[in-house]
Amino acid sequence: MMRAVNLIIHSFMACLLSSAHAINPEPLLDYCIADLSSPYTFNGPPCKDPNLATPDDFATSALSKPGNTSVGKFGSSVILTTYQNLPGHRTQGLSMARIDIAPNGLVPPHSHPRASEVTTCLKGEILVGFVGASNNELYTQQLRAGQIHFLFNLDEKRPSWAVSGLSSENPGAQIVPLSTFTSKPPLPDVVLKKAFKIDGQEVARIRQRLEG
């Protein structure tokens, strides 16, 4: 049984790593440690001298503690590894995220424009799903790049948390309700009314709840 589980994990990681090479360019160096002191940046900071590397450049405690799920509108917190908290992950085409969800909380529908994602639930019971970009079918298993997905804590009393691996050092995230109703400048009301089949009062009410 354990061997089967290990094979499944290895298969997931192989798919994730192969996706990473397809999405991010091949690195020119074995590793790149972000030079956080450099004033210059182009798609991220430059690499510092590899002779100055330390073990701390390749480790982070950013994901070790629960995030604050009381901040924001949806009862969830997402903490992502970045070159600021993990300097040695530059150019490796991978990142990880800790996802904490309050009881009955939600990570709302969103997309990662530059990454595929694998999510593992470590505590609680989380409903995870995505909507196919071409057919609008709802699936609740595998997550793919560019498709809209969500995570919902089914437990109304206890929090849950999960960890995600993403095939990009900068996967990006576009939260559908926020990008739709709180864009700057705002989408015209007539577009939202026609797209969602709602009236002007409902548009104003949704905007107020998301912005307030």
- Does 121 score more than 50 pLDDT? yes
* CATH number of the domain that residue 165 is part of: 2.60.120.10
- Which H or E element spans position 201? helix 200-211
Query: Do 52 and 102 lie in a common domain?
Result: yes
Amino acid (1-letter code) at residue 163? V
Q: Where is average pLDDT lowest: 21-25, 110-114, 135-139, 203-207?
A: 21-25
By the 10 Å C-beta count (0-12 exposed, 13-18 middle, 19+ buried), 117 is classed as buried
Alpha carbon distance 45, 90 (integer Å): 9
More confident residue, 162 or 44: 162
Q: Which domain holds residue 194?
A: 182-212
DSSP letter at 183 equals -
Q: Which residues make up each annotated binding site?
A: 110, 112, 117, 149
**pLDDT of amino acid 147:** 60
Q: Which residues make up each annotated binding site for oxalate?
A: 112, 117
**Mean of the pLDDT values across residues 149-163?**
91
**pLDDT of amino acid 21:** 45
Reported confidence tier of residue 9, pLDDT bands at 50, 70, 90? very low
Query: Do 53 and 26 lie in a common domain?
Result: yes
30-88 pLDDT, tens digit each = 889 999 988 887 778 899 998 999 999 999 999 999 999 998 889 999 999 999 999 99
Query: Do 188 and 146 lie in a common domain?
Result: no
Query: Do 33 and 124 lie in a common domain?
Result: yes
Mean pLDDT (the chain, rounded): 84
Strands across the sheet containing 138-139? 138-139, 126-131, 148-153, 106-111, 174-175
Query: Do 47 and 113 lie in a common domain?
Result: yes
- Which H or E element spans position 23? helix 2-23
Q: Which residues make up each annotated binding site for Mn(2+)?
A: 110, 112, 117, 149
Asked if residue 105 is part of any domain, the answer here is yes
Query: Do 205 and 163 lie in a common domain?
Result: no
Q: How many domains does the chain have?
A: 2
Alpha carbon distance 77, 68 (integer Å): 6
**pLDDT of amino acid 99:** 96
Asked if residue 93 is part of any domain, the answer here is yes
Helix (H, G, I), strand (E, B) or coil at 99: strand
Reported confidence tier of residue 23, pLDDT bands at 50, 70, 90? low
**What are the start-end ranges of the H helices in 57-199?**
176-181, 189-196
**pLDDT of amino acid 82:** 93
Query: Do 125 and 205 lie in a common domain?
Result: no
Query: Do 93 and 47 lie in a common domain?
Result: yes
Asked if residue 115 is part of any domain, the answer here is yes
Reported confidence tier of residue 136, pLDDT bands at 50, 70, 90? confident
**pLDDT of amino acid 127:** 87
Query: Do 57 and 160 lie in a common domain?
Result: yes
Asked if residue 177 is part of any domain, the answer here is no
Query: Do 117 and 208 lie in a common domain?
Result: no
More confident residue, 1 or 135: 135
Tokens of 174: 């576009």
Query: Do 12 and 95 lie in a common domain?
Result: yes
Query: Do 86 and 20 lie in a common domain?
Result: yes
